[in-house]
Chain A
């Protein structure tokens, strides 16, 4: 069908061609042309297939050099010249061509990507960094382990997720799942957030850091359980893990982390299974509750002690003189009935604090069924 390509095809790489490329895309923008027209322009002017892929916004447009739309094609080739929609972003527009890159190709990519960004912002809103509960039925299907895989993949596409990509689920106290595409530039092994002290860090710092990491859709300071990044078809597993992680977050004014990453829980996740609606609080938890009720500083002090690498650091974080902290700990040990300064006692304290959190959570949010 070469003759179909007519006279627009594969402009000569001279200055006149560059001017024509600019004029061509300027007119498309002026006429409020759609994405397909922009991708077709890229294909026709460069004389090879062009494609635009924006997983976040569920956009996939591929047009061949004869102007025909043919979306079905293999994956993108890293050898192809490409352009991002935003400076420093991931590639979104490709010319399906290998070999030497021409000046015209670069100009076509730049003008087409810039025009596509305008159209996307106008017609689909700014890029979504997460998928909120605005598509509840699709989200429910996507996260339902009993739904057939085909239905989950269909839901993923409907939500603008790349079915072959990775994503993670977030659990918030409102019960509505959030799903975030996992940035393509990040490898699967990348630790999320990169914090240490996952379960015991200071609540406020943790919340702030989490807010930045977790992006829009998560109210600042909200408790969040973060599921691991998984292949999109396995998102129900991330969702289950996120809900478990949420139970490890600190509720209300309790000291402790507001954001918990499921993949940092390790063996502690088993504790969540051990604590259910009918579980009687263990003696150590009852001791913490009564000591905490009698002594306002107690829980925050003990949480700082188990979170910090040393007592000196804990004292600094609490704005206490080192000897004052020692005095407080002696008082706490008397109330609790065990030492919190030897390794075994620290572990016992840490477990009691965590189980207490799981039980508070249980009391505050009894299971619906």
Chain B
């Protein structure tokens, strides 16, 4: 063998992000283990603040700019109903483009309010409807329950768009982390099942590859947020014994998809100092190689979900601004 093994020296964190991590790190453990999951769930249920804030209805209304509603809609065939959080702009007329949001949390944590701050920022800027789906989580509900719940919510949104002031021809799939993986999976499913065709997919530091074996997964062990160990916890919860084997569906781990052609334009971002860096870069590259449209941003020194943990940092501001610019271009308004 003449190939050089990838270095294990991690890229340095951005100074501001490193400082935020030093102060906030205890709220967001680097390595979530299966044992810690029970505690994290209990803390969620007790309403304790995690590192990423969950918005209340009042916060989401942005002083009356939005109407907030929760609705139960049919789930996948033979499965329970699912809950959609629907946020509609009150001051904009006519059917508006709609963000269909799948929340993050490593497939095992979080609810449909997680990550909504960023969605509502976009909605405020562009007058969008936001629908955020409450899907069943692993390990109680392994694949395909989470992604099928998400898909059922997408179907309902497309079919009932008019009722919520949304334009079914302008659906944008969006999500961060595990939610980014789910959004990518929805794009694949909708393509393959000839379902609702989205006009774009925004994948924020998406969790795409159950194999958990890229250089960045090894580089960042024990560092930042959501390291290789945490990733193993999440993927194993979702896939059990099948994790890392040949028997993994691309709807669970979109990096497994053989064909990335015919997908809506993708926006992908990640930090250079995070587990998902390499799988996210690879996903964008493969979309280009398949003749698709993708915009990729790797933020130097960013750890996983840095813009959520340290929203004030210069890098976080730039990351948010870049997403918004892409949306402006995508929507042409």
Q: Please state if B15 and A32 are interface contacts (CB–CB under 8 Å).
A: yes
Contacts of B36 in A (CB 8 A): none
Q: Please state if B313 and A20 are interface contacts (CB–CB under 8 Å).
A: no
Q: Please state if B24 and A40 are interface contacts (CB–CB under 8 Å).
A: no
**Given contacts A3-B59, A37-B314, A67-B311, A27 and B19 within 8 Å (CB-CB):** yes
Q: Please state if A33 and B22 are interface contacts (CB–CB under 8 Å).
A: no
Contacts of A20 in B (CB 8 A): 23
Q: Please state if B20 and A37 are interface contacts (CB–CB under 8 Å).
A: no
Of the candidate stretches B47-55, B73-81, B101-109, B143-151, the one touching chain A is B47-55
Q: Please state if A41 and B19 are interface contacts (CB–CB under 8 Å).
A: yes
Contacts of B22 in A (CB 8 A): 23-24, 26-27
Q: How far is the CB of A25 from chain B (nearest CB, A)?
A: 7
Interface flag for B219 (CB, 8 Å): no
Contacts of B309 in A (CB 8 A): 6-7
**Given contacts A3-B59, A7-B24, A27 and B15 within 8 Å (CB-CB):** yes
Q: Please state if A28 and B19 are interface contacts (CB–CB under 8 Å).
A: yes
Taking A3-B59, A8-B20, A27-B19 as given, write out 11 further A-B residue pairs in contact, using a Cβ cutoff of 8 Å, ordered by the A residue number: A4-B117, A5-B311, A7-B27, A8-B312, A24-B19, A25-B19, A26-B22, A28-B15, A36-B314, A67-B312, A67-B314
Please give me the residue from chain B that is nearest to A44 by CB atom.
Answer: B312
Contacts of A3 in B (CB 8 A): 53, 55, 59, 117
Q: How far is the CB of B300 from chain A (nearest CB, A)?
A: 12
> How would residues 18 to 37 of chain B score, 1 for a CB under 8 Å from any chain A CB and 0 otherwise?
11111110010000000000
Which residues 1-60 in A have Cβ within 8 Å of B in the complex?
3-8, 20, 23-28, 30-33, 36-37, 40-41, 43-44
Contacts of B316 in A (CB 8 A): 67
Contacts of B117 in A (CB 8 A): 3-4
Please give me the residue from chain A that is nearest to B56 by CB atom.
Answer: A3
Cα–Cα distance between A189 and B310 once the two chains are bound (Å): 49
Interface flag for B267 (CB, 8 Å): no
Interface flag for B13 (CB, 8 Å): yes
Of the listed residues A3, A20, A26, A33, the one surrounded by the most CB atoms of chain B closer than 10 A to its CB is: A3
Q: Please state if A33 and B53 are interface contacts (CB–CB under 8 Å).
A: no
Q: How far is the CB of A290 from chain B (nearest CB, A)?
A: 74
Q: Please state if B59 and A31 are interface contacts (CB–CB under 8 Å).
A: no
Which secondary structure dominates where chain A touches chain B?
helix
Which residues 208-223 in B have Cβ within 8 Å of A in the complex?
none
Interface flag for A286 (CB, 8 Å): no
Q: How far is the CB of A331 from chain B (nearest CB, A)?
A: 77
Count of chain A residues with a beta carbon within 8 Å of a chain B beta carbon: 27
Please give me the residue from chain B that is nearest to A45 by CB atom.
Answer: B23
Q: Please state if B12 and A31 are interface contacts (CB–CB under 8 Å).
A: yes
- Give the contact-size bracket for chain B: 20 to 34
**Given contacts A3-B53, A3-B117, A27 and B18 within 8 Å (CB-CB):** yes
Of the listed residues B12, B16, B49, the one surrounded by the most CB atoms of chain A closer than 10 A to its CB is: B16
Q: How far is the CB of B119 from chain A (nearest CB, A)?
A: 12
Interface flag for B317 (CB, 8 Å): yes
Q: How far is the CB of A11 from chain B (nearest CB, A)?
A: 8
Cα–Cα distance between A67 and B17 once the two chains are bound (Å): 13
Please give me the residue from chain A that is nearest to B16 by CB atom.
Answer: A37
Q: How far is the CB of B136 from chain A (nearest CB, A)?
A: 27
Cα–Cα distance between A306 and B53 once the two chains are bound (Å): 81
Q: Please state if A33 and B15 are interface contacts (CB–CB under 8 Å).
A: yes
> How would residues 64 to 103 of chain A score, 1 for a CB under 8 Å from any chain B CB and 0 otherwise?
0111100000000000000000000000000000000000
Contacts of A25 in B (CB 8 A): 19
Residue in A26, A30, A33, A67 whose CB lies within 8 Å of B317: A67
Residue in A5, A7, A31 whose CB lies within 8 Å of B49: A7
Q: Please state if B53 and A8 are interface contacts (CB–CB under 8 Å).
A: no
Cα–Cα distance between A7 and B316 once the two chains are bound (Å): 14
Please give me the residue from chain A that is nearest to B312 by CB atom.
Answer: A67
Q: Please state if B311 and A6 are interface contacts (CB–CB under 8 Å).
A: yes
Please give me the residue from chain B that is nearest to A20 by CB atom.
Answer: B23
Q: How far is the CB of B170 from chain A (nearest CB, A)?
A: 26
Q: How far is the CB of B199 from chain A (nearest CB, A)?
A: 27
Of the listed residues B22, B49, B53, B117, the one surrounded by the most CB atoms of chain A closer than 10 A to its CB is: B22
